[in-house]
């Protein structure tokens, strides 16, 4: 039989041995071990491990001693919850360590119940997770930094029209900016990780770039080139590209980065300039032939031709000069030539790259406010730029402007193009964008226009006097009735008229480009203007039948002369590009708020490919039928500019070998 005292003895032994086991466990563990009273008011530290101080006495101020103030609420809430739900307590929080520094701990405690299911005590461990927390924080910081970096790059590469991309050494794209993805018509997911062939490049083109990547791998030198291929929407395009090695920390090529720029427009201009000078040459020769027929009787003519030859020479020299300037422009274009900026919408904080400061003539380290930058814009453009930026801000629309800037320190004038867009991120609005320098291009444009204007103007004077002489000669010869000479002179007269028309066209282009064309709005009746065109046609067009449909009174508020010029131009083209004897129809039909004028011919028609381009400056359709017709491809360009400035529309519909209809519409004046 066992007496009660024996029982107590056994219990005591059992307790002593389990306590010894616990002690052993405590000693083996690297965590802090503690016990808590049922309501957590008292703590007993079983082993401090340097986080807590070692003591056997229960302490009541453990919360204020170990837990920083800002953490206490959270810890208390977790305690309350564990007590009320009788569940394991677990929380990560900061602690003061024994050496007064602070760290992080993961604290877990389990409730111990009596036989009635009430909590008598808690046993807990506190693991030191300071290192883990620090590593987590560092990871977060690094991630934040790299995301920021990525945002900056995305802003730069996302708002430039240039194509920017990176290849790995297996020729796969590892990066493509949005301009490139748009050009491919692909998304990041369907394009990245694929090679050139898989992204739709022709085999010859893919192989060419693969060879270049191999070469860069070997030489570590950039490669620059030009390539031309058809674009799905824009037709044949010419691209200038540069591929640059990306080196790893050991100086080995690990990737190849590239930028590509569309230089089609520049090429077209070069070509059309060459063409124009050829045409001028051809005209010269024609004139020289006519001149021979009239022989010595017309010394004036000879002088003019000499002058023409000289001007032609000048045109060619200018062409070479422009080519030279284009070349240096090409050299200046490289991947790093973009300046970037962003403006915070709420705080107006203006952040710029060093390159941008350079554009504005500031030093790279200088602080630049948005007002200071704005002040460097040329006074003639400042207000306009300011208004455009303001409106882009307000409407959240895209900004795309070109303007000259006067350097703050160096006083140098630089033309820049700025492209920007409002971006919404992390609850904030930023206006971000890029700038690049276009000084050379601008100066070329200005020089080119001035030159065309000057040449055209100079050509007009001798032509006018020539025309006068020819008319006087014609009058005299008619009295003498010399059929052959009259015929020759009439031909010369027609040639002079043709040339005058072309020169006027050039003069108009140059005026238009330099902003000197003036639209003089007045209310008038379109029906009367068309009537005048009818009378003129009757008097001058004998090769075709021009039918004018009846027109009702149609009041428009427009520049009468300029609209007359458009109608004249469309009718002349219909005559030029349709066979003699065919019919041309002219009609004017109004709908609710606009007048529509149509000029229809039964001519050669225009291919769909060309249809979208005939309104471009200097664009002419190539082909056997058109090569014999003289022109510079500026008539329709001028028409479309004139109609644009009236807020109207101009368009063409055509079927090859059947004929074309050219139409324009103008808003009716409000009565
Ligand atoms: P130009 O007639 O001096 O070449 P335009 O700008 O007037 O220049 O016309 C541009 C081109 O559009 C022409 O070269 C011609 O190929 C085409 N074109 C214009 N009008 C017609 C037409 N009625 N029918 C067919 N082609 C036309």
Of the listed ranges 242-256, 327-341, 501-515, 554-568, the least confidently predicted one is 327-341
Q: What is the CATH number of the domain that holds 563?
A: 3.30.565.10
- Same domain, yes or no, for 153 and 278? yes
Regarding the beta carbon of 573 and ligand 1, being less than 6 Å apart is answered yes
- Same domain, yes or no, for 46 and 65? yes
- Same domain, yes or no, for 272 and 154? yes
Residue of higher predicted confidence among 610 and 460: 610
Give the confidence band of 580 by pLDDT, cuts at 50, 70, 90: very high
- Same domain, yes or no, for 644 and 509? no
Q: 261 φ, ψ to 5°?
A: -125, 140
Regarding the beta carbon of 659 and ligand 1, being less than 6 Å apart is answered no
**pLDDT, tens digit (0-9, with 9 covering 90-100), for 165-202:** 999 999 999 888 888 888 888 888 899 999 999 998 88
Does the residue 556 lie in any domain? yes
- Same domain, yes or no, for 13 and 145? no
Residue of higher predicted confidence among 475 and 667: 667
Q: Name all contacts of 546-551 with Cβ < 8 Å and 24+ positions apart.
A: 546/571, 546/583, 546/584, 546/585, 546/586, 547/583, 547/584, 547/585, 547/586, 548/586, 548/587, 549/585, 549/586, 549/587, 549/588, 551/526, 551/527, 551/587, 551/588
Does the residue 643 lie in any domain? yes
Does the residue 333 lie in any domain? no
CA of 651 to the centre of ligand 1 (A): 13
Q: 92 φ, ψ to 5°?
A: -100, 130
Nearest CA to 636 out of 530, 582, 551, 565 is that of 565
Q: Is the pLDDT of residue 296 over 50?
A: no
Give the confidence band of 595 by pLDDT, cuts at 50, 70, 90: very high
Regarding the beta carbon of 660 and ligand 1, being less than 6 Å apart is answered yes
Q: Say if residue 178 is exposed, middle or buried (CB neighbours under 10 Å; 0-12, 13-18, 19+).
A: middle
Regarding the beta carbon of 574 and ligand 1, being less than 6 Å apart is answered yes
- Same domain, yes or no, for 161 and 304? yes
Does the residue 437 lie in any domain? no
Residue of higher predicted confidence among 11 and 167: 167
Tell me how far apart the alpha carbons of residues 459 and 493 are, in angstroms, rounded to a whole number: 16
- Same domain, yes or no, for 158 and 100? no
Regarding the beta carbon of 572 and ligand 1, being less than 6 Å apart is answered no
Atom of ligand 1 nearest to the CA of 662: 23
Q: What is the CATH number of the domain that holds 464?
A: 1.10.287
CA of 664 to the centre of ligand 1 (A): 15
Nearest CA to 454 out of 514, 403, 499 is that of 514
Q: Ligand 1 pocket: which of 508, 606, 616 to mutate (most atoms <8 Å of CB)?
A: 606
Domain boundary pick from 381, 401, 430: 430
CA of 612 to the centre of ligand 1 (A): 12
- Same domain, yes or no, for 9 and 123? no
Cβ neighbours, 10 Å, residue 647: 10
**pLDDT, tens digit (0-9, with 9 covering 90-100), for 264-275:** 877 777 776 677
**pLDDT, tens digit (0-9, with 9 covering 90-100), for 438-475:** 888 888 888 888 888 888 888 888 888 888 888 888 88
Tell me how far apart the alpha carbons of residues 562 and 638 are, in angstroms, rounded to a whole number: 10
Regarding the beta carbon of 570 and ligand 1, being less than 6 Å apart is answered no
Write down the pLDDT at residue 617: 84
Q: For residue 553, what are the CA distances in angstroms to 524, 530, 588, 669?
A: 10, 11, 10, 12
Domain boundary pick from 451, 482, 513: 513
CA of 593 to the centre of ligand 1 (A): 29
Which range of 245-249, 452-456, 482-486, 646-650 scores highest in mean pLDDT? It is 646-650
For residues 512-525, one letter each, b for 16 or more C-beta atoms within 10 angstroms of the residue's C-beta and e for the rest, the string is: bbeeebeeeeeebe
Atom of ligand 1 nearest to the CA of 569: 7
CA of 629 to the centre of ligand 1 (A): 9
Residue of higher predicted confidence among 160 and 649: 649
CA of 633 to the centre of ligand 1 (A): 7
Does the residue 51 lie in any domain? yes
Q: 670 φ, ψ to 5°?
A: -80, 120
Q: What is the CATH number of the domain that holds 117?
A: 3.30.450.20
Write down the pLDDT at residue 371: 86
pTM for the model: 0.44
- Distant-in-sequence, close-in-space partners of 14: CB < 8 Å, separation ≥ 6: none
- Same domain, yes or no, for 174 and 320? yes
Q: Is the pLDDT of residue 1 over 50?
A: no
> What secondary structure, in 3-state letters, does 177-208 show?
CHHHHHHHCCCHHHHCCCECCCCCCCHHHHHH
Which residue minimizes the CA distance to atom 12 of ligand 1?
614
CA of 512 to the centre of ligand 1 (A): 20
Does the residue 435 lie in any domain? no
Regarding the beta carbon of 600 and ligand 1, being less than 6 Å apart is answered no
- Same domain, yes or no, for 57 and 8? no
CA of 601 to the centre of ligand 1 (A): 12
Does the residue 436 lie in any domain? no
Share of the chain above pLDDT 70, in %: 83
- Distant-in-sequence, close-in-space partners of 503: CB < 8 Å, separation ≥ 6: 456, 459, 460, 463
Write down the pLDDT at residue 294: 47
Does the residue 148 lie in any domain? yes
Regarding the beta carbon of 601 and ligand 1, being less than 6 Å apart is answered yes
Q: Ligand 1 pocket: which of 616, 635, 655, 659 to mutate (most atoms <8 Å of CB)?
A: 635
- Distant-in-sequence, close-in-space partners of 397: CB < 8 Å, separation ≥ 6: 391, 422
Kindly state the tokens that stand for 92: 């990560």
**pLDDT, tens digit (0-9, with 9 covering 90-100), for 438-447:** 888 888 888 8
Q: Ligand 1 pocket: which of 275, 503, 609, 614 to mutate (most atoms <8 Å of CB)?
A: 614
Residue of higher predicted confidence among 267 and 359: 359
- Same domain, yes or no, for 471 and 579? no
- Same domain, yes or no, for 262 and 303? yes
Average pLDDT, the chain: 82
The CA-to-CA distance between both ends of the chain, in Å, stands at 125
Regarding the beta carbon of 163 and ligand 1, being less than 6 Å apart is answered no
Domain boundary pick from 513, 541, 566: 513
Number of structural domains the chain divides into: 6
Query: Tell me, what DSSP letter sits at residue 395?
Result: H
* Domain assignment of residue 10, given as a range: 1-27
**pLDDT, tens digit (0-9, with 9 covering 90-100), for 305-343:** 566 666 667 666 666 665 554 444 334 433 446 777 888
Which residue minimizes the CA distance to atom 7 of ligand 1?
635
Q: For residue 632, what are the CA distances in angstroms to 146, 371, 498, 613, 636?
A: 54, 46, 12, 14, 10
Angle at 650 between CA 179 and CA 183, to 5 degrees: 10
């Amino acid at each position: 039989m066992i007496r009660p005292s024996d029982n107590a003895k056994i219990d005591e032994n059992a307790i002593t041995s389990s306590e010894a086991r616990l002690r052993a466990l405590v000693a083996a563990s690297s965590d802090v071990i503690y016990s808590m009273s049922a309501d957590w008011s008292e703590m007993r530290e079983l082993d401090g491990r340097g986080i807590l101080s070692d003591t056997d006495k229960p302490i009541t101020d453990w919360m204020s001693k170990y837990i920083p103030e800002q953490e206490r609420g959270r810890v208390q809430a977790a305690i309350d919850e564990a007590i009320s739900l009788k569940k394991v307590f677990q929380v990560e929080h900061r602690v003061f360590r024994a050496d007064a520094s602070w760290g992080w701990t993961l604290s877990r405690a389990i409730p111990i119940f009596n036989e009635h299911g009430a909590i008598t005590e808690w046993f807990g461990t506190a693991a030191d997770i300071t290192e883990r927390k620090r590593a987590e924080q560092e990871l977060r910081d690094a991630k934040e930094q790299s995301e920021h970096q990525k945002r900056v790059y995305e802003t730069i590469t996302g708002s430039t029209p240039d194509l920017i991309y990176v290849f790995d050494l297996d020729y796969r794209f590892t990066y493509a900016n949005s301009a490139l993805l748009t050009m491919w018509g692909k998304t990041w997911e369907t394009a990245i990780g694929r090679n050139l062939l898989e992204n739709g490049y022709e085999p010859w083109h893919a192989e060419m770039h693969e060879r270049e990547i191999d070469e860069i791998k070997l030489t570590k030198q950039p490669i620059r080139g030009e390539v031309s291929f058809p674009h799905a929407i824009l037709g044949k395009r010419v691209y200038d590209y540069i591929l640059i090695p990306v080196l790893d920390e050991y100086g080995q090529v690990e990737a190849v980065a590239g930028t590509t720029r569309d230089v089609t427009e520049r090429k077209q201009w070069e070509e059309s300039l060459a063409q124009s000078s050829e045409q001028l040459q051809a005209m010269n020769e024609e004139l020289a032939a006519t001149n021979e027929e009239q022989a010595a009787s017309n010394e004036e003519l000879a002088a003019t031709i000499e002058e023409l030859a000289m001007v032609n020479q000048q045109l060619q020299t200018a062409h070479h000069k422009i080519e030279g300037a284009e070349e240096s422009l090409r050299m200046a274009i490289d991947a790093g030539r973009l300046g970037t900026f962003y403006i915070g919408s709420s705080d107006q904080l203006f952040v710029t790259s060093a390159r941008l400061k350079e554009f504005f003539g500031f030093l790279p380290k200088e602080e630049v406010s948005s007002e200071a930058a704005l002040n460097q814009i040329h006074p003639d453009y400042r207000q306009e730029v300011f208004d455009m930026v303001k409106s882009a801000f307000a409407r959240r629309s895209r900004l795309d402007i070109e303007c000259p800037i006067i350097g703050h320190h160096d006083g140098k004038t630089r033309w820049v193009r700025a492209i920007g867009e409002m971006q919404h991120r992390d609850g904030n609005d930023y206006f971000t964008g890029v700038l690049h320098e276009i000084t050379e291009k601008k100066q070329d444009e200005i020089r080119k226009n001035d030159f065309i204007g000057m040449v055209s103007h100079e050509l007009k004077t001798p032509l006018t006097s020539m025309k006068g002489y020819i008319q006087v000669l014609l009058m005299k010869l008619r009295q003498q009735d010399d059929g052959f000479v009259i015929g020759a002179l009439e031909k010369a007269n027609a040639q002079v008229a043709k040339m005058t028309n072309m020169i006027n066209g050039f003069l108009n282009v140059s005026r238009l480009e330099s902003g000197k064309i003036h639209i003089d709005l007045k209310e008038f009746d379109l029906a009367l203007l068309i009537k005048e065109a009818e009378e003129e046609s009757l008097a001058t067009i004998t090769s075709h039948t021009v039918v004018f449909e009846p027109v009702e009174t149609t009041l428009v508020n427009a520049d009468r002369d300029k609209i007359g010029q458009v109608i004249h131009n469309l009718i002349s083209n219909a005559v030029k590009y349709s066979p003699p004897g065919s019919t041309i129809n002219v009609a004017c039909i109004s709908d609710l708020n606009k007048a529509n004028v149509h000029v229809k011919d039964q001519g050669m028609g225009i291919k769909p490919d060309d249809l979208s381009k005939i309104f471009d400056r200097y664009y002419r359709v190539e082909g056997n039928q058109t090569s014999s017709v003289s022109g510079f491809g500026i008539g329709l360009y001028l028409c479309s500019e004139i109609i644009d400035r009236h807020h109207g529309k101009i368009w063409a519909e055509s079927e090859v070998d059947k004929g074309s209809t050219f139409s324009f519409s103008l808003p009716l004046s409000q009565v």
